[in-house]
Amino acid sequence: MGVRGLMSFVEERGSLFTELRVRDTKLVVDGSSLYYCLCFASASDFRRGGDYGLFAATVNDFFGSLRRCRIAPFVVLDGGRDPSDRKLPVLRERAADRLRTACGLSRGGAGELAPLLAREAFVQALRRLGVPFVQCFAEADREIAGLANRWGCPVLSLDSDFCVFDLAGGFCPLSHFQWRSVCAAREPRGCYVPARRFSVDRFCRNFAPLNKSLLPLFAVMNGNDYVGLAALEAFYSKARLAGGCAKGGGARHGRLRGLLGWLSQFAKPAEAVDSLLQYLKAQQREEIRELLCTSMEDYTPSEVNLEDFFEHGRYECEAAGSAGIPQWVLSALVRAELDPFISNVLLLRSTFLRVQVENMQRPSAHSTALPIRQVIYGLLLSTPRGSPTAAPGRQGEEAPLVCEFGRLQKTIHNTYVRAASLPPELCGDRCPLDKLMEVPISCRQVLLLETLGVQMSSLAPVPRHLQLPAAVTCYWLRCSEPPVKLHQLKALLLMIVSGELHRITNDPDPPLSPAPEDSAAYSQFLKWKEKKLPSEEFDLDAAHSFCQWQCCLQMGLYLNQLLSAPLAEPDLSRRLYNGSLAHRLCQELKSAPAVENLFSSSPRLSGLYQLLLKTLES
């Protein structure tokens, strides 16, 4: 969620924080805040689609710092959208903001835009590092607060909503969590991370004093992700809120200060709500009362017991249980083996397609992966003929529709897409989702490969962990519009081979022992990277093509996960995609084709490149 203006408001008041040495403790981490924060801290190239290896290295460093200080992190990730979809207007606004940022970046402007697959790379890094994590059914704030209070430990986040929750162990903003500056204390307790902890008690004492129970109403009245200020504009225009000119922030936070002063005269939220409603028209009052009371419940800790999940693997959520999701799907969602994209389609029949830095004059890069998404929709929404759970609004035998919010030139536009009809040989006429895991894995693999337009015999020579990227690349070559250029394909394959070279020569536990020629090839590669190009122009056509490849890889991953991995899942966090490198290779291949022999000193790596190229050309 997020309370408008609250984080900057409290940041200006240092007295609301206490200095904290974080060590020897559990720490409940807001995973969604963390992966954005680390992504932007990794110096990734946002214009060229990111560098997942660099991002993963930053994730490794972060959790390495926690280990040094004997901090036990428990990462809690947001799930899909709430079944009520109350947040849809805000999500559309945020999508439009991302689109504006992407447009600016495509023209050479500044900005930060998380790469398309950053979340997937983050989850893979957590899994590889052995960090405990859970993906909630919907937004995670209440479950984070409940777990932190159960353990009495701090919450680490960037979300201003945690200034509103009454947290026993306090709230540590990520902006003040100095994990790169671990201090080795002389005292016996050892290393610690310097941090600052926000105090709700200090905050309330600072305003007249204010009863803590009024903070949720303060958040809702000020405007958050669920309630806009427009609903209460009549109150603000009529009520005289003192404090608008108080020192410490000027007029910037006048309404916040005035609202806190006004609330401080009440002992309980109900009294304040009754007073507020008097400023509104009589016919509005009950509707607004219900809206305020419902929204205040968002700041009560959840009944979901995440401790039970982390200790025993059990996740019991009433909302998830009543949604009618098959148990195997729910279990996979909780373990982040399926992305929230799946639950959004399953429950809401809609999804947001994240914009990238692409050619805004062309159709969205996501349009290339549309046939893959349609197969996913067919699997999720398929029901047997005559079933009482058939999709509402379906006419006859027409497949269900899914609403996709995506880019149409420079605006966010919604399009209705029809789910694909499943092939009869998969398992009869239709395959209910709850029976999908009963389908033989060979049939599931056939569906995956047919969707991507590849035969297993073509992929057989390719290393197992690269078979899905190779299949996705075949699909990309076949379906991209405009067609992929040869130097773009070669740049992508050389980039993938460079990731393999890095794994062999740098990983502490490499899949293969590096031969002397591999080490020589890596040294040669590093020297090549150090050379400066005469000009590093931004090739928008190449950017669009590589965006299409990432869209295809994303949906290929999701389909593979939904089918329970008939192909091995590639590890994004092991340098599968490096946008800066792909663009540089693409630029050099146009003017100096000899760069194709970059790994010629290593028979193993040059052989892999030729194998991939031959597989794709066939």
Q: pLDDT for 541-580, tens place per residue?
A: 999 999 999 999 999 999 999 999 999 999 998 789 999 9
Rounded CA-CA distance 54/509 in Å is: 18
Does 398 have pLDDT greater than 90?
no
239 neighbors 262 (Cβ within 8 angstroms) = yes
Task: Specify the DSSP class assigned to residue 231.
Answer: G
What are the structural domain ranges in the chain? 6-208, 349-383+398-617
Average pLDDT over residues 478-482: 96
Which segments of 382-515 does DSSP mark as H helices, in order?
Answer: 441-452, 456-459, 467-479, 486-506
- Residues shown for the chain: 618
Q: For residue range 403-414, what is the model confidence (pLDDT) as tens digits?
A: 999 999 999 999
Q: How confident is the model at residue 250 (pLDDT cuts 50, 70, 90)?
A: very low
Q: Which residue has the tokens 């269900």?
A: 400
- The mean-pLDDT minimum among 186-190, 439-443, 464-468, 588-592 falls in 186-190
Average pLDDT over residues 337-342: 98
Residue 14 confidence (pLDDT): 84
Residue 409 confidence (pLDDT): 94
Beta-strand pair 171-173/155-157: parallel
Q: For residue range 16-59, what is the model confidence (pLDDT) as tens digits?
A: 999 999 999 999 999 999 999 999 998 778 899 999 999 999 99
Residue 391 confidence (pLDDT): 42
Looking at every residue in the chain, the average pLDDT score rounds to: 89
- Which phi-psi region, left, alpha or beta, contains residue 278 (left: φ > 0; alpha: ψ -120 to 50)? alpha
Q: Determine the CATH number of domain 6-208.
A: 3.40.50.1010
Neighbours of 533 (CB within 10 A): 10
Does 390 have pLDDT greater than 60?
no
Q: At what angle do helices 441-452 and 540-562 cross, to 10 degrees?
A: 160
Residue 274 confidence (pLDDT): 94
Q: Identify the three-state secondary structure at position 602.
A: coil
Does 96 have pLDDT greater than 70?
yes
Alpha-carbon distances, residue 443 vs 427, 438, 448, 467 (angstroms): 8, 10, 9, 17
Two tokens at 263?
């609330």
Q: How confident is the model at residue 535 (pLDDT cuts 50, 70, 90)?
A: low
Beginning with the edge strand found earlier in the chain, give each strand of the sheet holding 411-418 in spatial order.
350-352, 401-408, 411-418
Rounded CA-CA distance 46/356 in Å is: 9
Query: Could you please report the per-residue DSSP string of 497-520?
Result: HHHHHHHHHH-SS-SSPPPHHHHH
Rounded CA-CA distance 94/103 in Å is: 14
Q: For residue range 593-616, what is the model confidence (pLDDT) as tens digits?
A: 889 999 999 999 999 999 999 999
Average pLDDT over residues 493-513: 85
Beta-strand pair 193-198/401-408: unpaired
Neighbours of 191 (CB within 10 A): 18
Amino acid 39 reads: C
Helix H or strand E segment including 555 = helix 540-562
Question: Mean pLDDT highest for which of 149-153, 200-204, 387-391, 517-521?
Answer: 149-153
Predicted TM-score (pTM) of the model is: 0.93
Which segments of 107-193 does DSSP mark as H helices, in order?
Answer: 118-129, 141-151
Does 356 have pLDDT greater than 50?
yes
**Which H, E and C letters describe 63-82, residue by residue?**
HHHHHHCCEEEEEEECCCCC
Average pLDDT over residues 267-274: 94
Q: Kindly report each contact of residues 438-445 with a partner whose C-beta sits within 8 Å and lies 24 or more positions away, as own/partner.
A: 441/564, 441/566, 444/563, 444/564, 444/566, 445/563, 445/566, 445/567
| Cis, peptide link before residue 209, omega less than 30° from 0 | yes
Residue 44 confidence (pLDDT): 73
Residue 245 confidence (pLDDT): 39
